[in-house]
Amino acid sequence: MSALLTDLYQLTMLQAYLEEDLQQTAVFELFVRKLPPQRRFGVAAGLEQALQFLESLAFSDEELQWLAAQHRFSARLIDHLAQLRFAGDVDAMPEGSIFFANEPILRVTAPLPQAQLVESRLLNIVHLQTLIASKAARVVMHAGGRQLVDFGMRRAHGEEAALMAARAAYLAGFDATATAEAGRRFGMPVVGTMAHSFVQAHASESAAFEAFARVWPQRPILLIDTYDTEAGAQKVVALAQRLASAGLQIGGVRLDSGDLAAHARAVRGLFDAAGQRALTIFASGNLDEHRIASLVSTGAPIDGFGVGTALDTSSDAPAIDMVYKLQAYAGEPKRKRSEGKATWPGAKQVCRRRRDDGTLLEDRVQLLGEPVDATPLLQPCMRSGRRLQPAPSLAQVRAFHAEQRAMLPPELRLLEPSSQPFEPVISQALRDMTARIDAAAAARP
């Protein structure tokens, strides 16, 4: 990745910081100002890629030459960038954590130029996976334990979006992805069988099914809606009976169009009547958490779902209001007071309290120095540019998230917009400090 994958203003600001010698320690926090009303919680994800970015940040010769050729920046800035490495501290919620609006999920403490420069790409990394993990968790909560597969690569927004969506969905509880490279990159399960074009390329649907089943005899899944779903299902039954004598077994079928509930019932009935109870039914086609919740709750006989575009583009909310704000500089707490965009100043911690049954009771946002009397969510993960722990495996992150999700009370599991979103308590000390900053600002000429 190019170190120039940043907003140009980071560089114009850096040049000024150098000229003015504003290089003391800055504290920036990354958080969501407001969740979309239907998103009753967020799932923090992307920390691993964020740390990789910070560890490897360096301008290449080609990048520096391009900058110099713009005749915009000083030689001093370009020399500074040539030497620049991220040598700051990072504290963050572990990947898979449940979070709410106004809770810092990642804090950077570093000399101002470093902490400033990394803003654009840090947000770009953490926003993407957090967005998709939060969407995926909604699907997982309402899929009743059915198999869930990420099908979204083709309409994900580019390469990184596709790969990170596969990762984020898996850590949030999906079972697999269709994207081969995600399997290689993250060691996660990959599945895939056939497209309509495979059926169409053959002289008949039956010929396509039989050819596929002979090449892939390990319980293949056959796509049966290219022409007529129920007719396709009948061909599968006939084929299953024919292949049984050769000791071959069909795994099941995929439906990809029409009224999925009605087709699933008809196909299930047809299979069961023919004694093919082991054949499974997998469904795909414009599915999202709402359609899946409806199919599951009405008892549609579907064993698994492929979720594509809606997952990979986070279709109900293709962005969340995630920001990275300066909260302290040179030991002084700082506060942005723009209309509707004011922030809580200072370096902060989030402490979580649970009920005796383990469900979430309260989150409290407090100043970093306040006594911690509940579970602190932000944990040290980088000091002076070096990681404190090896990265957890994706399986560990997935297990941690499952435990986190189990903590959610029923009202936070609903898919509908909430008029009373869960909000963290803001500590009295933080409120008092904010009031002091505002009063001091008002007293200034």
Output the six-digit token pair for 324: 């990275």
- Compute the least distance from the CB of residue 187 to its own copies, in Å: 10
Query: What does the alpha-carbon distance between residue 87 and residue 89 come to, in Å, rounded to a whole number?
Result: 7
Query: What does the alpha-carbon distance between residue 155 and residue 313 come to, in Å, rounded to a whole number?
Result: 7
Q: Exactly one of 58, 180, 246, 414 binds its own copies (CB under 8 A); which one? A: 180
**Residue 55 contacts its own copies per CB under 8 A:** no
Residue 427: CB atoms within 10 A of its CB come to 18
Identity at 27, one-letter amino acid code: V
Q: How far is CA 76 from CA 64, 225, 303, 341, in A?
A: 12, 64, 62, 34
**Residue 22 contacts its own copies per CB under 8 A:** yes
Single out the residue of 4, 277, 310, 375 nearest to residue 138, CA to CA: 310
Q: Segment 74-93, which members bind its own copies (CB under 8 A)?
A: none
**Residue 36 contacts its own copies per CB under 8 A:** no
Q: Segment 395-414, which members bind its own copies (CB under 8 A)?
A: none
Q: Are strands 360-367 and 348-354 parallel, antiparallel or unpaired?
A: antiparallel
**Residue 337 contacts its own copies per CB under 8 A:** yes
Output the six-digit token pair for 316: 């109900």
- Compute the least distance from the CB of residue 335 to its own copies, in Å: 8
- Compute the least distance from the CB of residue 359 to its own copies, in Å: 32
Single out the residue of 78, 57, 54, 58 nearest to residue 66, CA to CA: 78
Q: Which stretch binds its own copies (CB under 8 A): 122-130, 138-146, 245-253, 399-407?
A: 122-130
**Residue 184 contacts its own copies per CB under 8 A:** yes
**Residue 35 contacts its own copies per CB under 8 A:** no
Q: Segment 186-215, which members bind its own copies (CB under 8 A)?
A: 190-198, 200-202, 204, 211-212, 214-215
Q: Which stretch binds its own copies (CB under 8 A): 63-71, 243-251, 272-280, 417-425?
A: 63-71
- Compute the least distance from the CB of residue 14 to its own copies, in Å: 10
**Residue 157 contacts its own copies per CB under 8 A:** yes
Q: How far is CA 394 from the centre of its chain?
A: 13
CA angle 100–101–105, rounded 5-degree value: 70
Query: What does the alpha-carbon distance between residue 427 and residue 431 come to, in Å, rounded to a whole number?
Result: 6
**Residue 110 contacts its own copies per CB under 8 A:** no
Closest to its own copies by CB, 57 or 412: 57
DSSP 54-106: HHH----HHHHHHHHHTT-S-HHHHHHHHH-----EEEEPPTT-EE-TT--SE
The DSSP 8-state label assigned to residue 307 in this structure reads E
Closest to its own copies by CB, 258 or 409: 258
CB 31 within 8 A of CB 328: no
- Compute the least distance from the CB of residue 303 to its own copies, in Å: 18
Q: Exactly one of 51, 108, 162, 267 binds its own copies (CB under 8 A); which one? A: 162
Closest to its own copies by CB, 38 or 309: 309
- Compute the least distance from the CB of residue 9 to its own copies, in Å: 3
Dihedral, CA atoms, 66, 72, 73, 75, nearest 10 degrees?
80
Strand order in the sheet with 304-307: 176-177, 147-150, 304-307, 280-283, 252-255, 221-223
- Compute the least distance from the CB of residue 146 to its own copies, in Å: 20
Identity at 266, one-letter amino acid code: A
CB 98 within 8 A of CB 40: no
Q: Segment 206-265, which members bind its own copies (CB under 8 A)?
A: 211-212, 214-216, 225-229, 256-258
Closest to its own copies by CB, 9 or 58: 9
Q: How many residues at the interface with its own copies, by CB under 8 A? A: 99
**Residue 435 contacts its own copies per CB under 8 A:** no
- Compute the least distance from the CB of residue 59 to its own copies, in Å: 11
Q: Exactly one of 153, 171, 287, 292 binds its own copies (CB under 8 A); which one? A: 153
Q: Exactly one of 45, 136, 161, 412 binds its own copies (CB under 8 A); which one? A: 161
- Compute the least distance from the CB of residue 278 to its own copies, in Å: 21
Output the six-digit token pair for 126: 């953490």
**Residue 290 contacts its own copies per CB under 8 A:** no
Closest to its own copies by CB, 333 or 424: 333
Q: Which stretch binds its own copies (CB under 8 A): 137-145, 272-280, 325-333, 403-411?
A: 325-333
Query: What does the alpha-carbon distance between residue 141 and residue 128 come to, in Å, rounded to a whole number?
Result: 20
Give the 3-state secondary structure of residue 296: helix
Residue 72: CB atoms within 10 A of its CB come to 12
- Compute the least distance from the CB of residue 330 to its own copies, in Å: 8
Closest to its own copies by CB, 197 or 245: 197
